[in-house]
Amino acid sequence: MTIEEFSFANFIKSVLWLAFWILTVVSLIGIPILFILLFYVEPPEIAGMKITPYLLLTMITNPQVGAPLIRATLESDFFKVAVFPGFGFASIFATLLIFTERKLLAKMQIRVGPHYAGKEALWWIRQFGGFPQLIADLLKLIGKEIIIPASADKIIFLAAPVTMVVASAGLVSLIPVGENWVVADIDVGLLVIFALLGFFPLTALLGSWASNSKYPFIGGLRALHQLVSYEIPLFLSILGVVILAGTLNLTGVVNAQSDIWFLFLLPIGAFIFFITALAELERIPFDIPEAESEIVAGWLTEYSGMAYGLIQLANYVKLYALAAIFVTLFMGGWSGPTIFDSIYIFDSLVFSGEELSSFLWFSIKTFGVAVLMILPRGINPRIRMDILLRTGWAKLIAISFINIFIAVALIYTGVV
């Protein structure tokens, strides 16, 4: 075969030739295989109708028939996992939190923050001037080389970012954003949350050990010691909530707060949970494992490119998840007055008014708590390791026991 001279006609010819072969192969092989597969697949039932392929095509082209399909899609497991209460929603919320953090900290330090990206395109919302900067950052991270240090343990080194994302996705799946709007409704939900929270410092330790370098290893050991100092107060502060609610299921905890938020009954517990959540997130004043002015970037020193990007994504998804857990445990979760009307398309329900307003209340509360968690970064210095250990063991555990006795007293005096 000879190399033909390049011309536009040859280019068009090759494209048409390719299209012809693709069409031929798909129609002769692909479509028969699809039909044979559809013969064996049990058609799902939506609104009393069996969805056969022909009915599905009718539904897509005719909205009046296909309207029940929307609600069925919203309630399917895949949509819940991938889009709404699950990963997609959490990622978008995390992106919003990154932008909020950058803008808010810039305002606190009398800077402007991200400003120029998209300034012309988004001129009508001037405060969101730099929002496309996040997209630019993502593209930059994808385009960067992932440098793996020599004599590093490659598999564990690259598994650490994946593990971080997986553990934070697991956390997100347990959070109820509305009544019956939760990915995984588990009876022992809080215990699963504790198990998943334990993954993060251990991942930090493994990743630092695998990168075979001194600064990351110091950071990883610091992450481990931080875990030792905050985990017991974290568990004990939630025990008061469990005593009052009588259940470990997060939906059950929200339903138990229909009269009064646990924030007002157990303010000490909420305070300890907030402090320990900051320590869990490795945010200032507890960013000891990543202390960038002491040990380069802590356990993240050797991570670059998309591996670093995934760890940061997991960190911000975790910020969303812990703010949402705080809201669920202490601030009544999704509960709030109904302010929206239900949305119907051709007389079939898409979202009821209660659901829409519960999403709104949940988002507002979570965003508020997350901003409170971001704020210390602008005003606090870093705490010292031994002071954190001493505070965690001597003070936080002691007052969390007081919190438990308050909860027991509230039960026995009949207040709750």
Partner 1 sequence: MAETGFDTLWLMILFGILASVPALILAKIVAPRRRFVNPVKFLPMECGQVPLGEGKARFMMQYYAYVIMFVVFDVMTIFLYVWGTSLLALPQVVTIPIIVFLAILGAAMGYAMYLSGKKDIW
Q: One symbol per residue from 54 to 83: x for binding partner 1 (CB under 8 A), - otherwise; what is it?
A: -----------------------xx-xxx-
329 binding partner 1? (CB under 8 A): no
d(CA 300, CA 161): 10
Backbone φ and ψ for 153, nearest 5 degrees, come out as -80, 100
275 binding partner 1? (CB under 8 A): no
Site for partner 1 in 194-213 (CB under 8 A): 194, 209, 211-213
8 Å CB contact between 150 and 163: no
**Cβ-based nearer residue to partner 1, 325 or 374:** 325
CA angle 382, 388, 391 (to 5 degrees): 130
Report the nearest approach of partner 1 to the CB of residue 187 (Å).
4
Q: Strand, helix or coil at 344?
A: strand
Among 298, 309, 332, 333, binds partner 1 (CB under 8 A): 309
- Within 8 A by CB and 6+ apart from 291, the residues are 219, 222, 298, 382
CA angle 263, 88, 325 (to 5 degrees): 15
Alpha carbon separation from 79 to 26, 51, 73 (Å, rounded):
28, 18, 7
**Cβ-based nearer residue to partner 1, 168 or 366:** 168
Among 97, 204, 205, 248, binds partner 1 (CB under 8 A): 248
**Cβ-based nearer residue to partner 1, 65 or 159:** 159
Site for partner 1 in 91-110 (CB under 8 A): none
Tokens encoding 236:
């004990």
Q: Strand, helix or coil at 49?
A: strand
Among 132, 305, 336, 378, binds partner 1 (CB under 8 A): 305
148 binding partner 1? (CB under 8 A): yes
d(CA 49, CA 148): 55
Segment contacting partner 1 by CB under 8 A, of 59-67, 125-133, 215-223, 373-381: 215-223
150 binding partner 1? (CB under 8 A): yes
Report the nearest approach of partner 1 to the CB of residue 253 (Å).
11
8 Å CB contact between 374 and 97: yes
Q: Which residues pair with 345 in a beta bridge?
A: 348
263 binding partner 1? (CB under 8 A): no
Size of the site for partner 1 (CB under 8 A): 81
Segment contacting partner 1 by CB under 8 A, of 51-59, 102-110, 168-176, 370-378: 168-176
Among 34, 147, 339, 387, binds partner 1 (CB under 8 A): 147
**Cβ-based nearer residue to partner 1, 85 or 129:** 85
Among 95, 173, 315, 366, binds partner 1 (CB under 8 A): 173
8 Å CB contact between 366 and 90: no
**Cβ-based nearer residue to partner 1, 2 or 151:** 151
d(CA 104, CA 376): 11
Report the nearest approach of partner 1 to the CB of residue 232 (Å).
5
Site for partner 1 in 114-143 (CB under 8 A): 141-143
Q: Which residues of 275-307 are buried (b: 16+ CB within 10 A; e: fewer)?
A: bbbbbbbbbbbbbbbbbeeebbbbbbbbbbebb
**Cβ-based nearer residue to partner 1, 173 or 357:** 173
